[in-house]
Structure 1
Amino acid sequence: MQYWKALRLLVQFKGLTVTYFTRHSENAFALGLVIAMAVGGSAQADTTTTLRFGAISDDFLGRTEQYGILAFDGVSISTSTRVGRLAFDLTLGDTFENEAVDSVLIFGDVGYRFGNDNWQVGVGQFERHWSPSEYTSLILSRNAPAFPSVYIRKEEARTSDVPVLRWIGPWNGEVFIGQTDDANQPDNALILGMRLGFEPIRDLEIELVRVAQYGGAGQPDGFDTFLDVLVGNSNEGDSAPANQIAGVGASYRFGPETFSNRIYGQAVGEDEAGGLPSCFFFLYGLENKSRLFNADTTITLEHVDTTVDFSTAGFCGPNTAYNNDVYSYRNEGVVMGAAIGSESRSTSLRGKHEFDTWALDWNVGKFTINDASNPNHSLSSTRETGTVVSVGASTQVWGGTLQGIVAHQSFDLDTAEQDSGVRIGVNFSRSF
């Protein structure tokens, strides 16, 4: 049986030490369930169980980023239980194609809701997607396996009752601290993440995001280092090895929700200069929602560019994105941001059509991967160009959801072990 890696979050302040330490996943979740039963008292448990099976003949670029780790790959059983204000979610299983995902425990979360059920604090291992784009995030996406973390999250966007904060409009956000695992960084490296989303003007949504990696074997991880990383003071001193990525995303919608156009973009910097991000890379897109062929339809044109130019002072340059002298921006060897990785570009046209009894989605994308031919690139040791085309469909059958997909990738990715050619996948899930 696979276990979570130890997660140790050490905070020291004026002689007070608080340590949160979990060793084995089953211990943490069993404890959470016991607490849920105790605190919930006479509250009735509301439980949903989902069985899922998926298989694909070969993986292709962007599958996990768009559909998630378990789509068309692996077998799993998930349970979601609510007892009073406590939530307990667990997914056990295994993936067939994606060897980066630990078998047995894939996702897990124990959380406590408060503040009219709009806030949750907990410990979990689950997918995050921080972006105005439905498909791609430059900072945290579904591309890499989930990592364990402790967090506090405001889920639904609501306007604050505090007068000085009312101007930002409805807002939500999250702060977490967790642990990633990769061969190209110190063992037990920590990761700090912060996200704030708000809507100061109707239909204008803004998202501020920041992630910092620090600590781990052989690296400073005391409270002073934590404070330096928290405020972004990481260009000198003990916190100098820290790796930070931060930026902003925004979207604006024209027209009603069901028939509208939306423009969006995200820009994040891999380095810090003068207290602000630098060495930027970008994504931007245009989304249209309408009624086409008697189906609710969404068409999205999106461009992602992780190439970075040299600054006027000679900093930044090729292979800056997702690279650092001490920390890799990867979990289990997979980039936690955009699926294309560093020094790459993609332009994709995507569509989704929701018919009465079934749904259709498709994607046509043009890619340039590892434009600088960096031999240590996460996907390919040489520059590769080509296309990825996919068509998927889903329908309700046998009391569950049946999905199928056909995809063609025209180029090889040797490091990711993805060959060119056609692949066929199927996925079935049913909830009880």
Structure 2
Amino acid sequence: MPRITLLLVIFAVFFYSNTLKASPWVGTIDPQLHYDVQVLTEFGYLDTTATTFPLPWKGIAKQLERLNLSGMPDTAKVSAKRLIHYLILQKRNTTFSSVTAYGATERSRFASFDGQQGEKARMKFSTETRYKRLATKISVNLEPNGEKNYDQSFLAVQLGDWNLRVGSIDQWWGPAHSNSLLFSNNARPIPTLALSRSTSEPSESPWLGFLGPWYATAQVGQLEDSRDVPDAKIWASRFVSKPVNGLELGLSWIAVWGGDGQPDRFQDIFKVLTFHKRCAQDIIECTDDQKTHVGSHLLGIDFKYTFNIAQQPFNLYAQYIDEGDSGEFNVANSANSFGISTYWYGAKVYLEKSDTNVSCDNAVIDVTSCFYESGTYSSGYRYYSRELGDNRESDADMLSLGVLKHFVDGDVIEASIRHIRIDDAEIFSRNLTSLKGITEKITQVSGYYQTVWGDWQLKVGAVLDSSKVNQQGTDHDLMVFSELKYSLL
């Protein structure tokens, strides 16, 4: 994030510190609040979209104020009480500040939505505020090696039903719990300028009434300079709507463009957005089949359908991401993720399968190792070397079974088991020698427990990996982590 932007954010935080109202988004204080929105949506108590993180409070807050908790199933009631509690805090308190310390026995290879982080250790100081139409958050993250970043910071202004934001915050696009193929929190958040709808309520316009509840966001971001093509740009957009009760549809589009040696003028973004083609490798004249799109594109479609059996919600969902010729979406040759979830004794249980084995475009034979890769942008769909989407890389498939439970007293417990197969993987042996072109099979068991004591929140968890490379023996690795957060309201 540019220094001038950081100075503006810091100035806004301290200047308005006596008249603030906290975040415009659900989950930026506690990611589990997004889960609570999903629960109430699946039980039919909220009419909103819920497959994009973060979601705006506007609209959801109105519905929460009208909820009648009597007669609610216990699972939905727990989520409703948590959301209402945080909504009351937003109206009553003038600021949300916190200090968070995270530590682990080693850096995690695979991150998760609200479990272990990527770093081995981190200290975070965060203050989140709101004054009239202005919302700000400043997060200072300190790592043991002396590095510092401002991830999770933003400056946003409310423009009617739209929100203009500059900053870098975690995002999660898609209905799955264990992974997102397009935007996840596996990598550090990208600094972006974003225009997003500030509500997911149905439009009052009769022309848009058929969409039902809907949400949209469009963002332009800057990637890091330590890439094969330094300072590349990124376009990210998503539209999601709920046209009929129980069915949520999402469309996403990502494009990496510009950077050193590539079309990087302001007008070039319009060529990206219109799928303009040019001759590859700077050839002056070429035939149509030798042309390639400006930028590297990914296009995604996802859906989630909720129905009831014996008064219990069941969810079927899937996500398809195509990389290559974005003008011709190919479901048959796309990375995919699909799953089913329901509730058992008040806990959400989910079973999910994902696959990033995708054949290369125009390949004579079935050549893979293509997903998240690009001939021009050879650093791939990554930010500081970590995938922006599924952290299992390309040519990987995963089967995961998980359970997530919220308790009345605010405690949370989550556990999962995953089987992962990565073909043509690249790993590092214990002597740091790079091993390429191998097949790795991983069985992973992970979980955490989170509890609250007054202004303190403690999370402890562990991840056990059993990895087998080709026909070699199985290697076991245990990572233990903890996170302690102190809230200053």
TM-score by shorter chain over 0.5:
yes
Quickly say closer, same or farther: Cα 1:312–1:257, change in 2 above 3 A. Answer: farther
Pick which of 180-189 and 163-172 moved more: 180-189
Any idea what SS the aligned residue of 1:372 has?
Answer: strand
Shift in Å, 1:155: 3.8
Is the contact made by 1:182 and 1:331 (CA closer than 8 Å) also made in structure 2? Answer: no
Does 2:180 align with 1:124? Answer: no
Aligned to 1:144: 187
Distance of 1:391 and 1:280 partners within structure 2: 30
Relative to structure 2, which stretch is displaced further, 199-208 or 315-324? 315-324
Query: How has the CA–CA distance of structure 1 residues 212 and 380 changed in structure 2, closer, same or farther, with 3 Å as cutoff?
Result: farther
Q: Is the 8 A contact 1:110 1:124 kept in 2?
A: yes
After TM superposition, give the deviation of residue 359 of structure 1 in Å. Answer: 2.4
- Match status 1:107 vs 2:155: no
1:401 is aligned to 2:457:
yes
What residue number does 1:351 align with?
403
Q: Is 1:298 equivalent to 2:348 in the alignment?
A: yes
Task: State the alpha-carbon separation in 1 of the partners of residues 173 and 121 from structure 2.
Answer: 23
Counting only pairs closer than 5 Å after superposition, residues 3-22 of structure 1 correspond to structure 2 as 4=1, 22=2
1:301 Cα deviation from its structure 2 partner: 0.5
Match of residue 188 from structure 1: 231
Determine if contact 1:249/1:265 at 8 Å carries over to the other structure.
yes
Match in the other structure for 2:295: 242
Aligned with 1:226: secondary structure? Answer: helix
**CA-CA distance at 1:95 after TM superposition:** 3.9
Q: Which moved more, 1:126-135 or 1:390-399?
A: 390-399
Q: 2:7 aligns with which of 18, 27, 40?
A: 27
For residues 197-276 of structure 1, the aligned pairs below 5 Å read: 197-234=240-277, 236=279, 240-255=293-308, 259-272=312-325, 274-276=327-329
| Residues 90 and 109, structure 1, Cα contact 8 Å, conserved in 2 | yes
Number of aligned pairs?
Answer: 393
Q: Distance in 2 between matches of 1:193 and 1:401?
A: 33
SS of equivalent to 1:338: coil
Q: CA deviation at 1:316?
A: 7.7
User: What whole-Å deviation, never above 9, does each CA across 1:256-286 have from its counterpart, x for those lacking one?
Assistant: 9993110110001011154435741100011
Q: Out of 133, 156, 162, which is 1:85 matched to?
A: 133
Q: What is the rounded CA distance, in whole Å, between the counterparts of 1:181 and 1:409 in structure 2?
A: 31
SS across alignment from 2:210:
helix
**Is residue 387 of structure 1 aligned with residue 439 of structure 2?**
no
Distance in structure 2 (CA, Å) of the matches to 1:390 and 1:259: 27
Alignment partner of 2:201: what SS?
strand
Work out the CA distance in 1 between the residues paired with 2:5 and 2:112.
23
Counterpart-to-counterpart distance in 2, 1:375 and 1:57: 19
Tell me what 2:88 maps to: none
Is the counterpart of residue 171 in structure 1 residue 193 in structure 2?
A: no
Provide the aligned C-alpha RMSD in A. Answer: 3.3
Uncovered stretches (5+) of structure 1, i.e. residues with no partner: 5-21, 414-418
* Greater percentage in helix: 2
The answer for unaligned runs of 5 or more in structure 2 is 21-91, 283-291, 429-433, 470-474
Deviation at 1:214, TM superposition (A): 0.4
CA distance in 2, matches of 1:316, 1:242: 24
Which whole-Å CA distance do the structure 2 matches of 1:383 and 1:182 have between them? Answer: 31
How far is 1:384 from its partner? 0.9
Q: What TM-score, normalized by structure 1, do the two folds share?
A: 0.81
> Is the alpha carbon distance of 1:68 and 1:408 closer, same or farther for their aligned partners in structure 2, counting shifts above 3 Å?
closer
User: Secondary structure of the equivalent of 2:463?
Assistant: strand
Distance in 2 separating the partners of 1:193 and 1:310: 23
Q: Contact 1:175 / 1:194 at 8 angstroms: preserved in 2?
A: yes
Within the candidate set 334, 343, 350, 1:289 is matched to 343
Distance change in 2, residues 1:173/1:24 (3 Å): same
* Range with bigger deviation, 275-284 or 328-337: 275-284
User: Which amino acid in 1 is paired with 2:295?
Assistant: A
Give 3-state SS (helix, strand or coil) of 2:207's partner.
helix
Report the residue type matching 2:314 in the other structure.
Answer: N
Equivalent residue for 1:337, pick from 389, 405, 418: 389
**In the TM superposition, what is the alpha-carbon distance from 1:173 to its structure 2 partner?**
1.2
Q: Which residue of 2 aligns with 1:368?
A: 421
CA distance in 2, matches of 1:330, 1:424: 26
2:374 counterpart of 1:324: yes
- The answer as to whether partners of 2:462 and 2:478 remain within 8 angstroms in 1 is yes
Q: Report what 1:280 is aligned to.
A: 334
**CA shift at 1:315, angstroms?**
8.2
Alpha-carbon distance between aligned partners in 2 of 1:160 and 1:406, rounded to the nearest angstrom: 44
Q: Give the Å deviation of 1:390.
A: 1.1
Q: Contact 2:13 / 2:137 at 8 angstroms: preserved in 1? A: no
Whole-angstrom distance in 2 between the partners of 1:264 and 1:409: 27
Q: Secondary structure at the match of 1:185?
A: coil
* Identity fraction in percent: 21
Q: Which moved more, 1:227-236 or 1:169-178?
A: 227-236
The amino acid of 2:201's aligned partner reads R
Question: Aligned-pair distance for 1:247?
Answer: 1.3
Shift of 1:72: 7.8
CA contact 1:246–1:277 (8 Å) conserved in 2: no
Q: Distance in 2 between matches of 1:186 and 1:71?
A: 25
CA distance in 2, matches of 1:257, 1:80: 42
Mapped contact 1:79–1:91 kept (Cα < 8 A): yes
Cα separation, partners in 2 of 1:104 and 1:229, compared to 1, 3 Å: closer
Name the structure with the higher strand share: 1
Q: Which residue of 2 aligns with 1:10?
A: none
User: How far does residue 73 in structure 1 lie from its aligned partner after superposition?
Assistant: 4.0
Does the C-alpha gap of structure 1 residues 141 and 316 become closer, same or farther in structure 2, counting only changes over 3 Å? farther
User: How far apart, CA to CA, are the structure 1 residues paired with 2:199 and 2:365?
Assistant: 40
CA 1:233/1:394 → structure 2, altered by over 3 Å: closer, same or farther? same
**Relative to structure 1, is the Cα distance of residues 257 and 54 closer, same or farther in structure 2, using a 3 angstrom cutoff?**
farther
